[in-house]
Each structure stands twice: as structure tokens, then as C-alpha cells.
Amino acid sequence: MEAAAVITGSGIAGTLSVSFVSETEMEEINRTYVGHEGLTDVICFDYRESGCGLPKEEGDTDPVEVEIIVCPSVARREAAKRGLPYSKEVVLYLVHGLLHAAGEDDLKPGLKRIMRRRELKTINELAEHFDFAKVFPDAVRS
């Protein structure tokens, strides 16, 4: 997560897991672990405070401390609605999750505006170094 800390300017470090799941899986995760009904775009779990990271998988050296789960089909629909490339929508979800892991909150209107500005700033900075369409091509179907 060192790269994520640099990306978001948070100064945090640790092990990050990113998963891309189906709508059915996302609904189940949202219901079971977040306590909300229905589909959502991205969920971030921060295990650092609880000290119970995800178990190591073969080849891992450290337990996962932050997990970001993205639903690509939601990203595809939202991107189409907003007139954005799919790749930029996915990057938005990843940055959103990283900012939550860095302690940002978007539940109150004032905090939401601050977080949205940080998302935009981070995405613009990333766009200077990465071609999002090459990382998350539109041709990939979820």
C-alpha cells in the first residue's frame, strides 16, 4: 500500500487487496458485511484497527490490511450514465476506496465535498502517469 499512500498523500503503508466481483457477489458482501441491502459500486474494508487482516495467500509475505472490492458492471453502467470512460470510473472507485482507507469520510455534505475534490485531484495526478484505458480496457466485460 506504499504506492497507494503516495497516490493519496496519506502517508499510510500496508498491504492492499483489490478484488473485482459480480453484482451477485457485491450484493452479498454489502448485505453480509456492511449491513446494507442492494448493489453498490465499491466497498473498502480497513482491517488495520481490528488487527485481523485477511489471511495470507500462498506467496504473500504480509496479511492484507485494506481490501477494496469493485463491481465492474456497476462501473460500466455509471460511466455510461455520466458520459465517462469505463476506465476512469474504475479508477475513481479505487481512489475512493484508498481515500476511505486513509481516513476520509463522505457521509456528511461538507466532508463529501472535500473527499470529491481529493478524488478529482488524485485522478488528475494519476492520469499524468497512467493511461487508464490500457489498465482497464473497455473491451473487458464483467
Q: Domains of the chain, with CATH numbers? A: 2-135 (3.40.390.30)
The confidence score (pLDDT) of residue 105 equals 85
The confidence score (pLDDT) of residue 142 equals 44
The confidence score (pLDDT) of residue 74 equals 96
CB distance 99 to 5 below 8 Å: no
Buried b (16+ CB within 10 A) or exposed e, 65-79: bbbbbbbbbbbbbbb
CB distance 4 to 98 below 8 Å: yes
CB distance 89 to 71 below 8 Å: no
The confidence score (pLDDT) of residue 1 equals 43
The confidence score (pLDDT) of residue 89 equals 94
The confidence score (pLDDT) of residue 133 equals 87
Residue type, 14: G
- Rounded to an integer, what distance in angstroms lies between the CA atom of residue 38 and that of residue 103? 25
Strand order in the sheet with 16-20: 16-20, 66-70, 42-46
For 22, the grid coordinates are 459480480
The confidence score (pLDDT) of residue 10 equals 59
Q: What is the pTM of this model?
A: 0.79
Mean pLDDT by 10 residues, the chain (142 residues): 51 78 97 95 84 56 79 95 93 92 86 92 91 79 48
